[in-house]
Structure formats: structure tokens, C-alpha cells
Copies of this chain bind each other. A is one copy, B any other.
Amino acid sequence: MSKCEQCIVRQFNSLKTLTKEELVRVSACKTSSVIKKGDIIFREGESLNGIYCVREGVCKLTKLSDNGKEQVVKLAIKGGMMGQRSLVSGEISNLTAVAINDMQICFIPRQEIVRDLQKNVNFSMDILKRMAQDLKTSEDSLVNMAQKTVKQRLAQTLIYVQTTFDIDQDGYLALNLSRDDYASIVGTATESAIRILSQFKKEGLISTKGKQIKIENLQDLSRVE
């Protein structure tokens, strides 16, 4: 099992503010695991008892609506952490985490990391800043959900995926999401998502090969009405 001290991924999250000693301790008690695409890491309503650090792969954080449909609240990517909110509040998880592709994750038990939260101001400040960032992102999404059309939200999501995960050598989005995933990200029916993608295709905004998607005209896509 590799050590946190040598893990590049921690540079992307709050763990980078830990001292050498703290990191050694954290490393000693962490557990790593390999997660297969589709696997559930934790469920809404579960108590987490620690935080997860994403070493590889992508994961969707979803919440079940009262009507039984799942809504993607955000994506956790390489370097991201999951469960900070529960760590801080001591509450059960508000979200379910499902692997979108194969992943490697590490788990740090609550009691180990809570100690650092109390003792290391740099660490708690960094957690606080990231929470503030998450809050802003969530509020922005809220406004988009409330005020934008499904078409606009889908266009925006495609651009987000390209910006965040880049494209492969053929120009297709490097992250492959199912139509169903797109639908639960923008908050619509799967058929509607598919229909709008077809429309984008007809209008030359995107092209597809199987389930892969390539953005052909980012300018116009960002201006969809």
C-alpha cells in the first residue's frame, strides 16, 4: 500500500496542508481500495466515519428525490475528497457515491482526521475554504436549475465535461457519461436528454460516435437558448 507522503493527489486537496508528522499518521491508518465502475462507495443515510480521497477515476454524488429519481449533485474527480461535510457536521451522509469508471480511493477514519481539524489551523482553514467553494458552486447550480431550460443546462454540462476532463486524441469528451447520467445531472427525463443531444447533433453543435460525444461548436453551444 502506497504512502500519503508520496501521493501526488493530495496536492489537489486539503491534505496538502498537513504537516509531515500528521501525514505519516494519516497514512498509517488509511485504507486504500479499488472500486469498479458502477460500484457504490457509500449511500445517502449511511454514517461515514471518515473521509474518502479520490486517487483515480470519477464518481457521481447523487441524491434520491422524493419522487424516486436520482439527481447528480456533483462529480468527484481525481484529488477530490468526499465526506468532508459529514465529517464536519457529524451527520449521516446526504449523498450516495457511485463510481462512473474504475477508481482507486483511500479512506481515512474519522477520529484520525478530526484531530487535525482541531489542531491544525491551516488544515481547518483549507477545509473551510473548500466548503465555501462547494457552497458557491451549489448555489450557482441551484439558480441554473431554477432558471435555465433543460437545453441550456445540457449544453452547459457538455462544456463542463470538456473543460474539466478534456478530450481524447480524436476530440471526443474524455469522460464518457451515459445519456442517463446526463439526464440526472441536468435534472430531466432520459428521453429528453437524448432528444436534445440529437437536436444538437442536427444543428452541428456536437457529433457522436456510439455513446461518445464530440463538441463541434463550443461557441454556439454556450449560447443555446
Q: Given B125, B136, B139, B187, which contacts A124 in the complex, CB threshold below 8 Å? A: B125
Contact with B along A131-144 (1 / 0, CB 8 A): 11111101111111
CB-based nearest B residue for A149: B67
Closest-CB distance, A199 to chain B (whole angstroms): 20
CB-based nearest B residue for A131: B131
Interface size class of A (residues with CB under 8 A): 35 or more
The answer to whether A142 and B138 have CB atoms under 8 Å apart is: yes
Closest-CB distance, A140 to chain B (whole angstroms): 7
In the complex, what residues of B have CB within 8 A of residue A67's CB? 147-148
In the complex, what residues of B have CB within 8 A of residue A142's CB? 71, 73, 138, 141-142, 145
Once the chains are docked, how many angstroms separate the CA of A128 from the CA of B128? 6
Once the chains are docked, how many angstroms separate the CA of A145 from the CA of B73? 12
Given A88-B128, A127-B128, A128-B127 in contact, is the A65-B139 Cβ separation under 8 Å?
no
Residues of A whose CB lies within 8 Å of any CB of B are 63, 65-67, 69, 71, 73, 84-85, 88-89, 91, 94-95, 117-118, 121, 124-125, 127-129, 131-136, 138-148, 186-187
Known: A65-B146, A71-B143, A135-B135. 20 other contacts (CB 8 A): A63-B139, A63-B143, A65-B144, A66-B148, A67-B148, A85-B132, A85-B135, A88-B128, A89-B132, A94-B136, A95-B139, A121-B121, A121-B124, A124-B124, A128-B131, A131-B132, A138-B142, A142-B145, A145-B187, A147-B187
